[in-house]
Structure 1
């Protein structure tokens, strides 16, 4: 987004537009798939056929490619919905409304490349940031999906750091430390990675140790490769064998040392006479390193525990571990490599107590789940030492909502949504199912990825069986992931009934199969309905993100906005114009 071109009034106007669209469509997003048949959801919301919906949302369909063929919107409708029955009458109008009320349609977005140019100003795009040691390819160190995210994010963060004139970065929710390590090695930034899970920080420490070793050899071999290339160009076809300076941490080892290296999960690069010295990383060594770094060798992270619930012993243990980790980094001469710290971060966290060497810094978060994303924005507003913030939130279903009808309203304003005073005054509420759908991408779902339709169908039909044969059955037990183990619908139902501890003898195999055969022809309804839910998803996500931007803009009215922030002496207003 480009806040400098959107005033607070502009943002509030966009919010009003999205809320108007969602006032009509949000009930679809909040409809529970489990109750699809028991509540006859299709009939409640739809006055069109599932075939029409699927045709409209399918990529390259004639209906989407030729809008002039659409029928005229019936009178008394809003965004394709009947004003009286609230049922969908015009799929095309609905799709047009969804597109217009997503962030691109609201014209409040700018591309990543344009944003980087905005940060760089008159700098050349090829300009190397201060502190960069050598050009790295992110896929040398992690799988393709993660490397794409890390490389894209790190370029933006480095640009923010340069624009703000700072060299420190605080990576909140750093997890396994991929982004932190890359920022440190690629851009020479001093990075503090904070995660609430000690398992993650210990794992990040170990990965960082391996990464430093690999990186040293990466530098040496890249330099040796350049030397060989220059010498070859000068001497024609004469073979040049550059000598690599021996280093106790180097990974170019003799065959006799390979066994111990394999135990650490490090890449093996042979230096035996038979093999000859390699000046470039072999594919095999890259794969070994990728498996060492990218494999999910950590145990599942334990639930995050707020500091107020930690025992004094646990607080002291974490503090001691953080101090020891910093001391070890100094002994290793790795001050430029990130320091993983264990702490549960909230808006009230005192960063200077956690990081004693803290200077002005950029706060970042890649996949900051649930309330952690709004917490980083609250911290940015409250902490003068934070010169910029770059947060990519995720897991919207984990956001706590202040005006959730299912629970009491929060009195301490610590909920994740709404964040802005503007939406707070309107008691804005989305709902968990709606926020869950906001996590999905229409592009992936339309290609058959992201939603297991058969699994949802099985669960919905099971709900019909429970209603018909077990009355008003309720239990604290959950069906869980029975589908992945089931060989058929019959097997699925049997497994589910056993897990729920219900009497299987009430149903014969034929009874169960009859339910499947009865509802199977209506599976297209569920498929079409879920496609509509996913179509609304970008609008729900847009409302959440506009709320966060509105919150930042609202702070411009506060007294502290005129205080200088960061080494460059920027006010919060100046920081927001580029953040």
Structure 2
């Protein structure tokens, strides 16, 4: 029998690490049982408070929402919230017993709600509980700096802060630049850790992240987006970047020869200040590409797609219709939700309806593969390409090899993937062995399909659920599905609100919400409840007064304006104006609950990944500054 290895005090920690065979990543991993406990805590809290988040702003006066849910004056709510917002922004979010307690005993309240009436009686208690049940208060996130340091030290890779060369106004706006630089650095570290060179960007849009990953880190990137216009925008972006390829090569040679920076030549001057409709700003000079990996431009690869049957909703024809389509997802005739206009800027256009590749015939899949091969043969291969934009609609059942014929072991990323696309990305990652790691930042929670949501009887949603194919977007984890985890569409809409921005003084557009709610009263009183179900669109920005707003709305709804005199319309405004503060206070309570609802959704995704047998490490990481990018959390997972 071999002698047992002994550990000196100096090497005790390393011996423990060796004995347990714990990798550096495992040392910062948060165990599944802890995630489950936190999920149960949030679910318990939301079971009491979710009624506020699920109340529809449009119904605020018709259903007398304030008196139904709140038992204190609106002035008191606003006073407590104003002081709490300052504390929220300054707090270190460390857990304390007051945040996590569920009752105050003799008062028979739970999280500030009366056990008997179910109305809110203690606003401070609710806000304390909301802080404790937000992601920051639950202490379930791995710090980004710690994750990067662990990955880079393990692989001998150092990506210093000074390596980032892009100025915010050069390739993209400041928000997108902030997101792309951080996510690309993490993606490069993960690709190095997993020893892969391919990156698949799901929901790539116009290719901001793809371009930077390819140029800065020399990765082979495939960007998949369902929107043809986005793919064509990426193609135009490639065309404009092509002229800078010589500049990339010149600067690269200069560094290798020790020549330092190279001065701007005629080529750089010729493009300075050129407008770029797809990026929001021109590529102002070649200083923004100094030191980047030499690249060459390739034609866009557009995967043929088959349109869905004609009874499916067609893509919106204009911006206003597209905004309405956001709130139409899964919904059919649902009263317009004015919150749509104030959600985080990650809310992007709805993907064009496409037939998933898994539903195509074998002949069609083979034809697509052959087309891609023919394209690559015609251009002499794809080595050295900037990146390849692809047009395809992605679901959980999508077979990536039908889209990417040269698929190898790869990293999959998604920057603000919309609705179910975020959950589909995680399911694809789990089920495809060639995907070695994933980094997904979701958004548009209101567009998630929800398994245990209870739609209104007879609504379009009922029919949608009956004919639905594929897994639901929420919940994902078996743990939460066993508990019938539920949010509700209005609550998921609330989860998209940006608490940090509101707390920093970027308030809610209360007047537009007020106009819409009073209009709902007018429609109920004079045109019947059925008519009030129709959408009025974004007419507030065009209206000069409440009277003008109502007239525009009636015209849009094809209703008889002659039934209402100007004085009658003004009477409605004057009657409800003193109650406008109720709406402001109620919506601030919704904003306070937003991080808890988002936490339930994101922890459910993390729990799903940790339940899988083939994942070695999964974590929730705050990637971005929430003031710059409110949907700031990323889900990271690495295969065994």
What TM-score bracket applies, with the shorter chain setting the length? 0.7 to 0.9
Q: Does 1:358 align with 2:407?
A: yes
Report deviation, 1:217.
2.5
Report deviation, 1:312.
10
Q: Does 1:45 align with 2:69?
A: yes
Q: Provide the C-alpha distance between the structure 1 equivalents of 2:385 and 2:160, rounded to a whole number of angstroms.
A: 17
Partner of residue 511, structure 2: 454
Q: Does 1:514 align with 2:568?
A: no
Report deviation, 1:393.
0.5
Q: Provide the C-alpha distance between the structure 1 equivalents of 2:27 and 2:520, rounded to a whole number of angstroms.
A: 47
What are the equivalent positions in structure 2 for 1:151-162 lying under 5 Å apart? 151-162=181-192
1:116 paired residue among 126, 132, 148: 148
Q: Provide the C-alpha distance between the structure 2 equivalents of 1:225 and 1:242, rounded to a whole number of angstroms.
A: 13
1:217 paired residue among 227, 247, 251: 247
1:543 paired residue among 565, 580, 600: 600
1:414 paired residue among 471, 480, 483: 471
Q: Provide the C-alpha distance between the structure 1 equivalents of 2:484 and 2:185, rounded to a whole number of angstroms.
A: 38
Does the CA-based 8 Å contact 1:189-1:336 persist in structure 2?
no
Q: Does 1:57 align with 2:81?
A: yes
Report deviation, 1:449.
3.4
User: How many matched pairs?
Assistant: 521
Q: Does 1:392 align with 2:409?
A: no
Partner of residue 24, structure 1: 48
2:418 paired residue among 369, 381, 388: 369
2:176 paired residue among 127, 143, 146: 146
Q: Provide the C-alpha distance between the structure 1 equivalents of 2:81 and 2:439, rounded to a whole number of angstroms.
A: 33
With structure 2 as the length reference, what TM-score do the two structures score?
A: 0.72
Mark the CA change 1:38 to 1:433 in structure 2 (over 3 Å): closer, same or farther.
same
Question: 1:390-440, CA deviations, whole angstroms, 9 ceiling, x for partnerless residues?
Answer: 000110111101122223478855110111111112222211100011111
Partner of residue 331, structure 2: none
Q: CA RMSD in A?
A: 4.1
2:238 paired residue among 182, 194, 208: 208
What are the equivalent positions in structure 2 for 1:338-353 lying under 5 Å apart? 338-353=387-402
Mark the CA change 1:243 to 1:226 in structure 2 (over 3 Å): closer, same or farther.
farther
Does the CA-based 8 Å contact 1:361-1:385 persist in structure 2?
yes
2:215 paired residue among 173, 181, 185: 185
Q: Provide the C-alpha distance between the structure 2 equivalents of 1:328 and 1:141, rounded to a whole number of angstroms.
A: 30
Q: Does 1:445 align with 2:502?
A: yes
SS in 1 for 2:416: strand
Does the CA-based 8 Å contact 1:2-1:108 persist in structure 2?
no
Query: Please, which moves more after superposition, 28-37 or 354-363?
Result: 354-363
Structure 2 residue runs without a partner (length 5+): 1-24, 290-317, 320-348, 456-461, 617-635
With structure 1 as the length reference, what TM-score do the two structures score?
A: 0.79
Partner of residue 624, structure 2: none
1:88 paired residue among 89, 107, 120: 120
What are the equivalent positions in structure 2 for 1:103-502 lying under 5 Å apart? 103-121=135-153, 126-127=158-159, 135-137=165-167, 139-214=169-244, 216-217=246-247, 220=250, 250-251=267-268, 253=270, 303-307=352-356, 322-323=372-373, 326=376, 330=380, 335-406=384-455, 407=462, 408=465, 414-449=471-506, 451-474=508-531, 477-502=534-559
Structure (1 or 2) with the larger CA radius of gyration: 1
Mark the CA change 1:258 to 1:55 in structure 2 (over 3 Å): closer, same or farther.
closer
Partner of residue 76, structure 1: 108
Report deviation, 1:344.
1.4
Q: Provide the C-alpha distance between the structure 2 equivalents of 1:318 and 1:91, rounded to a whole number of angstroms.
A: 59
Does the CA-based 8 Å contact 1:172-1:364 persist in structure 2?
yes
Mark the CA change 1:497 to 1:262 in structure 2 (over 3 Å): closer, same or farther.
closer
Does the CA-based 8 Å contact 1:438-1:538 persist in structure 2?
yes
Q: Provide the C-alpha distance between the structure 1 equivalents of 2:127 and 2:113, rounded to a whole number of angstroms.
A: 11
Report deviation, 1:520.
1.0
1:10 paired residue among 34, 43, 46: 34
SS in 1 for 2:353: coil
Mark the CA change 1:321 to 1:51 in structure 2 (over 3 Å): closer, same or farther.
farther
Q: Provide the C-alpha distance between the structure 2 equivalents of 1:26 and 1:327, rounded to a whole number of angstroms.
A: 56
Mark the CA change 1:33 to 1:74 in structure 2 (over 3 Å): closer, same or farther.
farther
Report deviation, 1:184.
0.4
Mark the CA change 1:137 to 1:420 in structure 2 (over 3 Å): closer, same or farther.
same
Structure 1 residue runs without a partner (length 5+): 232-240, 270-277, 283-297, 563-574
Q: Provide the C-alpha distance between the structure 2 equivalents of 1:211 and 1:197, rounded to a whole number of angstroms.
A: 21
Report deviation, 1:318.
6.5
Report deviation, 1:122.
5.2
Report deviation, 1:475.
6.0
SS in 2 for 1:356: coil
Q: Provide the C-alpha distance between the structure 1 equivalents of 2:73 and 2:157, rounded to a whole number of angstroms.
A: 51
Report deviation, 1:490.
0.4
Does the CA-based 8 Å contact 2:264-2:286 persist in structure 1?
no
Question: 1:174-214, CA deviations, whole angstroms, 9 ceiling, x for partnerless residues?
Answer: 11011001000011111011112222212212202212323
Mark the CA change 1:123 to 1:43 in structure 2 (over 3 Å): closer, same or farther.
same
Question: 1:272-293, CA deviations, whole angstroms, 9 ceiling, x for partnerless residues?
Answer: xxxxxx98579xxxxxxxxxxx
Report deviation, 1:576.
4.4
SS in 2 for 1:337: coil
Q: Provide the C-alpha distance between the structure 2 equivalents of 1:47 and 1:105, rounded to a whole number of angstroms.
A: 27
Mark the CA change 1:12 to 1:280 in structure 2 (over 3 Å): closer, same or farther.
closer
Does the CA-based 8 Å contact 1:380-1:386 persist in structure 2?
yes
Mark the CA change 1:34 to 1:153 in structure 2 (over 3 Å): closer, same or farther.
same
Does the CA-based 8 Å contact 1:184-1:338 persist in structure 2?
yes
Partner of residue 534, structure 1: 591
Partner of residue 288, structure 1: none
Q: Provide the C-alpha distance between the structure 1 equivalents of 2:490 and 2:350, rounded to a whole number of angstroms.
A: 25
Q: Provide the C-alpha distance between the structure 2 equivalents of 1:444 and 1:140, rounded to a whole number of angstroms.
A: 25
Partner of residue 295, structure 1: none
Query: Please, which moves more after superposition, 322-331 or 149-158?
Result: 322-331
Does the CA-based 8 Å contact 2:438-2:637 persist in structure 1?
no
Does the CA-based 8 Å contact 2:354-2:392 persist in structure 1?
no
Report deviation, 1:476.
6.2
SS in 1 for 2:121: coil
Mark the CA change 1:301 to 1:86 in structure 2 (over 3 Å): closer, same or farther.
closer
